[in-house]
Chains A and B, each alone.
Chain A
Amino acid sequence: MDRLKVNIGSLELQNPVTTASGTFGYGTEYADFIDLNRLGGIFVKGTTLEPRQGNDYPRMAETPSGMLNSVGLQNKGVNYFAEHIYPKIKDYNTRIIVNVSGSTVEDYVKCSERIADLDKVPAIELNISCPNIREGGMAFGTSCQSAANVTRAVRKVYRKTLIVKLSPNVTDIAGIARAVEDEGADSVSLVNTFLGMAVDAETRKPKLSTVTGGLSGPCIKPIALRMVWQVYNAVKIPIIGMGGISNAADAIEFMLAGSTAIQIGTYNFIDPAISMKVVDGITGYMDRHNIKSVSEIIGKLEV
């Protein structure tokens, strides 16, 4: 199956299909449904230096062809991850990539250092785009200067593959991508959720406890695709594309627009076996179009 291999910097993935942080737990939640060893990679739940309880209920509102969430990075902290979760998932034959988040640059650095100690985690995804935490998170990803600062600080202490997850809630996502590329990021992943809101007309109340939350699902796909294309034309580092991918055709579209690999997010909730169908669908597409290696289609949008 070498024809499905792709490279994110020096990190080789057995195929381009990975699962998005915050939609796939630690992988084990899906072990009843799929063979995790067939995934290109698993981006595990956003991890912070200290445990976080997350936001109050309600944290979710369904919207046309999508959903809003305001989970707020509920997790037990990086030490719990390293001691209790990592041993259970480290031996899967896939790439385990930890999504790292924080409220201060120092948080990101310390959390990344702890993850760097874990042999079977070859990469981190620096989450500078979470819209659901009061301090930090997305604030780092909405200006070139702050994105550059946190990337530079983590790059100093983290020598393995560094992926930076970008926020779409900016005026110029290509500019942010260039800023983190300049600071030594090996890759960018995009997009995180769009800041959105839902209101209950009857009660006049917001549907989320936090009022606003992050929008995901098929409804964001056209915007995500546009942003991948813009970033592809602005940077040289590989892109991991995501935003509403719900079948193999969507995944191919993101690759044609410039993604080296893709993440499947919200659609895992609808069909927990979707990632396997996308792997098979990509293979079918390659057969139909006589493509020898999937990397041949990256950025091959004909304009």
Chain B
Amino acid sequence: MKVLDFTVRSNEQLNYQNNLIKVTPADNGTLPEMSPGQFVQILVNNSGNVFLRRPISINLVDKEKNEMWLLVQRVGEGTRKICETPAGETLNIIFPLGNSFSIPQEEGKFLLVGGGVGAAPMLFLGKKLREKGFSPDFLLGGRSQRDILQLSDFEALGTVYCTTEDGSLGEKGFVTHHSVLQKSRYDFIYTCGPKPMMVAVAKYAHSNKTGCEVSLENLMACGFGACLCCIEKTTRGNLCSCTDGPVFNINELTWID
């Protein structure tokens, strides 16, 4: 973990509420090894009110360009300020934080389920699985077509299935309604997105006796295990989702009765 200034290389508005911000270390140092599932804490500049950093998961690491991709959803003033940072400006970032998804050692059928901006770490994970020689499937869900982000990036890594609540892209409904879940059996499922979606995915995985990891987005202050605010109830007691997570195996959680 360290605190570092990053230069914004590019800042692209992907849709009505999400920006893809690509950053590189301001001191031109090489990015350290980072793993899918890990996140960063971004300092919010130029805000009188916003106080805490904003936790953002790592969307991708481009080693050749020495760039880290951050997919940011404009939720409130903090994330809006971050999204207003133009190319050439600096973002102060604590990184890399948290644990990461487990990477399988043997070939299998893997499904990566992302909901809205929660799909962000799935791109990094998909790339890692690809590098291991695996062919992951992706299942992306959103309210509408415009909420499905980075579709071509995902398609470059594997087969992509989509659901939208209004039916504007892929099958109509929630991710757990997608027909691929009836047709195919997976060896392992990874998911990140809104909690109701993750709970539904976890229940599907559990009932099919499929291993499953979820990446939590609990509210946090510090991001490195000091404030004890982002706790999740687990079989091992209250754990910090920033240091013991954000990735948890569903067997550790209390989501399934």
A residues neighboring B (CB under 8 Å): 22-25, 29-30, 32-33, 45, 53-54, 57-67, 69, 71, 74, 217-218, 266, 268-273
Contacts and interface: CB of A to CB of B under 8 A. Distances in A.
Contacts, number: 89
Interface of B: 1-3, 43, 48-53, 94, 218-233, 237-238
Contact of B238 (A53, A62, A271, A273): A53
B224 A60 contact: no
Given A66-B51, A74-B238, A272 B224 contact: yes
Given A59-B228, A60-B221, A32 B2 contact: yes
Closest 10 CB pairs of A and B: A60-B229, A269-B222, A32-B1, A64-B49, A25-B226, A29-B226, A269-B221, A59-B229, A71-B228, A29-B225
A33 B53 contact: no
B49 A25 contact: no
Q: Tell me if B's interface is mostly helix, strand, loop or mixed.
A: loop
A36 B53 CA distance: 23
B225 A25 contact: yes
Scoring B50, B51, B220, B222 by chain A CB atoms within 10 A of each residue's CB, the highest score goes to: B51
B79 to A, nearest CB: 12
Nearest to B50: A62
A53 B231 CA distance: 10
A64 B52 CA distance: 10
Given A30-B226, A269-B221, A67 B51 contact: yes
A67 to B, nearest CB: 6
Given A54-B231, A269-B227, A60 B51 contact: no
19 contacts: A23-B226, A29-B224, A30-B226, A32-B1, A53-B237, A54-B238, A57-B219, A58-B218, A61-B219, A64-B49, A64-B51, A67-B52, A69-B227, A217-B51, A218-B51, A269-B53, A269-B221, A271-B3, A272-B3
A131 to B, nearest CB: 15
